[in-house]
């Protein structure tokens, strides 16, 4: 059993840092999409993360074991995980391009819910009545949040509806990646798998990049591009460190508030050229239910066992 340090204030601060980084990510990406295309943006996000992580692991002597990569089963699993995570990154940003930061951040919460369901059907994990209640609240919250866009999905199926579908597919890709990652962690560390996946994504997106618009980026956008590359590493590092100090259920509950951070930032501090959702009371209630449902479904089992 992993020992928890008990430094709960530091743990909460680290978890909040992760939530803040993930909450800001779709806003930063939207600021870039006004100038450069989604594929090029994703390439820089992955390549910068790979370029920064590689020397760190070299110094720490924690590069992936090349001998393991020669095992066909492990190589196939690692490649499949990489393809799925690249699909998650790509589909998410294409969906974001067609919707808004708030919509993307709320809809991508489908991913951890799908992983919980996968735990039931694939790994035979128990699911309490309270967790099912949280799942129902989550689904109801999605309907309420997107109440003014239901026609875009079920009637006209316009560009916005297509964007939401892309984000759902991105969530499905992430769930598949997380399942394979759970298997890979029996042979590799999480750092080993992430480094291999970052480089795989860099090579996969490179042939489809369009670098001709880079000279049009403003100083602020160059900063946003750097932030997107650093985001994954910093957020993951804070997340991993938070687990050292507080229970996983408390970390999950804190990070589940990410959509509310995105909604609050965009609504209170609207940015130029970034779409803002016309949110009323029903939509805000829906966002709150999505977060409450996520927290309940993730943490109820922990509470039930104590």
Q: Does 1 fall in a domain?
A: no
pLDDT of 87: 94
Name the range with the highest mean pLDDT among 120-124, 125-129, 160-164: 160-164
Q: Does 61 fall in a domain?
A: yes
User: What's the whole-model pTM score?
Assistant: 0.87
Q: Does 2 fall in a domain?
A: no
Give percent of the chain above pLDDT 90: 42
- pLDDT, one tens digit per residue, over 135-174 is 999 999 999 999 888 877 777 778 889 999 999 999 999 8
Q: How confident is the model at residue 301 (pLDDT cuts 50, 70, 90)?
A: low
If one counts the domains in the chain, the total is: 1
Which token pair is 256?
A: 């589940």
Q: Is the pLDDT of residue 253 over 80?
A: no
The residue among 175, 165, 151, 26 whose CA lies nearest residue 96 is 26
Contact between 138 and 289 (Cβ < 8 Å): yes
Q: Is the pLDDT of residue 128 over 70?
A: yes
pLDDT of 58: 86
Q: Does 3 fall in a domain?
A: no
- Give the total residue count for the chain: 306
pLDDT of 65: 72
Q: Does 154 fall in a domain?
A: yes
The residue among 8, 23, 193 whose CA lies nearest residue 104 is 23
Q: Does 28 fall in a domain?
A: yes
The CA-atom distances, in angstroms, between 18 and each of 89, 109, 154, 259, 264 are 18, 15, 34, 12, 16
CB atoms within 10 A of CB 172: 17
Range of the domain at 164: 8-305
Q: Does 100 fall in a domain?
A: yes
Which token pair is 24?
A: 């800001």
Q: Does 121 fall in a domain?
A: yes
Mean pLDDT computed over 62-75:
79
Distance of CA 131 to the CA centre of its chain: 21
- pLDDT, one tens digit per residue, over 22-60 is 999 999 999 999 999 999 999 999 999 899 889 988 888
Average pLDDT, the chain: 86
């Amino acid at each position: 059993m992993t020992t928890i340090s008990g430094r709960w204030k530091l743990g909460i601060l680290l978890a909040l840092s992760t939530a803040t980084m993930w909450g800001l990510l779709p806003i930063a990406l939207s600021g870039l999409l006004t100038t450069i295309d989604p594929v090029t943006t994703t390439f820089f996000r992955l390549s910068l993360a790979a370029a920064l992580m590689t020397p760190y692991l070299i110094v720490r002597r924690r590069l992936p074991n090349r001998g393991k990569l020669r095992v066909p089963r492990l190589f196939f699993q690692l490649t499949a995980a990489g393809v799925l995570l690249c699909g998650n990154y790509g589909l998410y940003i294409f969906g974001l391009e067609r919707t808004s930061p708030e919509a993307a951040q709320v809809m991508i919460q489908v991913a951890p819910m799908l992983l919980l369901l996968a735990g039931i059907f694939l790994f035979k994990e128990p699911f309490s009545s309270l967790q099912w209640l949280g799942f129902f609240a989550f689904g109801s919250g999605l309907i309420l949040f997107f109440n003014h866009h239901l026609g875009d999905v079920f009637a006209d199926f316009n560009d916005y509806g297509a964007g939401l579908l892309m984000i759902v597919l991105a969530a499905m890709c992430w769930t598949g990646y997380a399942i394979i990652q759970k298997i890979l962690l029996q042979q590799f560390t999480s750092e080993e798998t992430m480094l291999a996946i970052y480089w795989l994504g860099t090579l996969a997106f490179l042939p489809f990049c369009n670098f001709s618009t880079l000279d049009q980026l403003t100083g602020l956008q160059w900063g946003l591009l750097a932030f997107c590359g650093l985001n994954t590493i910093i957020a993951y590092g804070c997340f991993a460190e938070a687990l050292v100090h507080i229970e996983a259920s408390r970390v999950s509950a804190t990070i589940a508030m990410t959509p509310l951070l995105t909604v609050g930032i965009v609504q209170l501090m609207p940015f130029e050229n970034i779409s803002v959702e016309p949110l009323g009371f029903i939509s805000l209630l829906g966002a709150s239910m999505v977060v409450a449902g996520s927290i309940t479904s993730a943490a109820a089992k922990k509470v039930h066992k104590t």
